[in-house]
Amino acid sequence: MNDQNGNPVTGANAAALGHYDRALRQLQTFTGDPVASLQAALAEAPDFAMAHVMNGWMHGLATEPAALGVARRSWQAARDLPMTVREQGHAEALGMLVAGGWHAAGDKLAGLTKEFPRDSLALQIGHQIDFFTGNAPMLRDRIERALPHWDPSMPGYHSLLSAQAFGLEETGDYAAAEAAGRRAVELEPSDGWGQHAVAHVMEMQCRQRDGIEWMRATPQAWAKDSFLKVHNWWHLALFHYDLGDHDEVFRLYDGPIEGGATDVALNMVDASALLWRLHLGGVGDGGRWQPLADVWTPHAGASSYAFNDMHAMMAFAAAGRRREVETLIATQEEAARRQDDNAGFTRDVGLPATRGILAFVDGDYASAARLLDPIRAIAHRFGGSHAQRDVIDLTLIEAAVRGGDAALAGRLTRERMEHRPHSPLSGVLARRAQAIGVGA
């Protein structure tokens, strides 16, 4: 039997394959419940190797401590089943991921899609790994190498275009990125990844009003039953934030962003990042940090992904949760001594970032600047996008301004004006930096 893209699968029957193909389609739009579809497939065919593997991928990429155990059990269930060469490659890559080898898993999948370029699951999972490891060139190249083997009539073609769009955006080819993202959404209006790729272009080009128009035009398409809906609402909030429309930012935070209510790590990251930006501007949180710190608390002793740790620290430090602060730092220090890839993410970027955030909240702006300035150029190593990692620069600028470091504040805000000249926030920060220079 073959999956929807013509790849042979083992251990499946017709009913199980129908559930599996539905899970693939759900993953390609980030809608529905692909895990439930996979469970239905396995109920029909317990030895369906790729259903076990895909379930492992879904949980392994969740960056949730508990989900990693599910991913490991899925890999263990799959590894000894009869498999094709392609399926075995998936199982081996999943095994690398659950052992902490993010880079090795991504490399394995890249090799797999050279041989099987129509393996949409390998392409999409590899693309997500590139995102989580901050590998911008591979975000683009992994997809572009496979595209000549595809055509618009193939199931899931839109998802390749949306992945291509994000890779092009992260490597600075904004015109091509926007064209690919718009085409993806045209082909499949519920493609939240394509919607988000175009929003990223507009964020990087400081096209705030275009971004608001783009996001508000079709929320019934990109937000309905979508795993990405919170992140896409976050993108809308960023446009309003840059324009200084804080009331609308809070409305979105309290509403569709579900700040302090959702316990999904990827959504909690967005909530922290948004409140922290407002915190940097001296905007009161109205008691919102406390419930957000509550949902982050189970992660304090986990440190399974350094990018999440930085955002957890924002909530713990701003909410005055010293016990959680100390637990998180100690757990990161332990994580940095391990032999997996997250150890490198943590040593290089995660620990300096969380310590810098803590120093900022404690009013030690000189230490915050000292910790954050060296990681600006290597922050991609712990994942995320340019738009997400911008919070490091914003924190560093604010630390320099509040600490009275006119030279650092001037350098950083001049750079920001050069790269984001049409951002109202750039102008605000530049004027504040000039003011301390005049007073120095």
Residue with tokens 């120095």: 440
Which helix (H) or strand (E) segment holds residue 99: the answer is: none
Closest CA relative to residue 235, chosen from 45, 379, 387: 387
Average pLDDT for 419-423: 93
Check if the beta carbon of residue 155 is closer than 8 Å to that of residue 123. no
Mean of pLDDT values over 303-329 = 97
Tokens 């150890």, residue located: 343
In order of 125, 251, 274, 397, 429, the CA distances from 240 in angstroms are 32, 11, 11, 20, 17
Q: What would the two tokens of residue 127 be?
A: 């693309």
Summarize the confidence of residues 190-203 as an average pLDDT: 98
CA distance 134 to 148: 25
Q: Which amino acid is at 334?
A: E
Residue 168's pLDDT is 98
- pLDDT for 439 equals 44
How far apart, in whole angstroms, are the C-alpha atoms of residue 346 and residue 337? Answer: 9
CB count in 10 Å sphere of residue 178: 22
Q: What is the mean pLDDT of residues 278-291?
A: 96
Give the separation between CA 369 and CA 365, rounded to whole angstroms: 6
3-state secondary structure of 11: coil
Where are the extended beta strands (E) located within 105-210? none
Of residues 157, 194, 202, the one with CA closest to residue 175: 202
Q: Which residue has the tokens 């909410």?
A: 319
Quote the pLDDT of residue 71: 97
pTM value is 0.96
Contacts of 323 (CB under 8 A, 6+ apart): none
Local confidence band at 50 (pLDDT 50, 70, 90 cut-offs): very high
Q: What is the mean pLDDT of residues 222-230?
A: 96
- Looking at the predicted structure, is the pLDDT value of residue 276 above 70? yes
Mention every residue, 6+ apart, whose C-beta is less than 8 A from residue 391.
273, 276, 277
Of 399, 398, 406, residue with least CA distance to 439? 406
Mean local confidence (pLDDT), 363-381 = 97
Beta-carbon count within 10 A of 373 CB: 20
- What is the structure's pLDDT at 440? 44
Token reading at 381: 């190593």
Give yes or no for a contact between 201 and 178, defined as CB atoms under 8 angstroms apart: yes
Q: Which residues contact 328 (CB under 8 A, 6 or more apart)?
A: 300, 301, 303, 309, 312, 313, 316, 354
Q: Dihedral angle at the C-alpha atoms of 234, 240, 245, 250, nearest 10 degrees?
A: -10
* Eight-state DSSP code of residue 224: T
Tokens coding 380: 């991609």
Say yes or no to pLDDT of 234 above 90.
yes
pLDDT at 438: 56
Average confidence score pLDDT of the chain = 96
pLDDT above 80 for 437? no
Q: SS3 of 217, please?
A: helix
Q: What is residue 65's predicted lDDT score, i.e. its pLDDT?
A: 85
Give the pLDDT mean for 326-346. 97
pLDDT at 303: 87
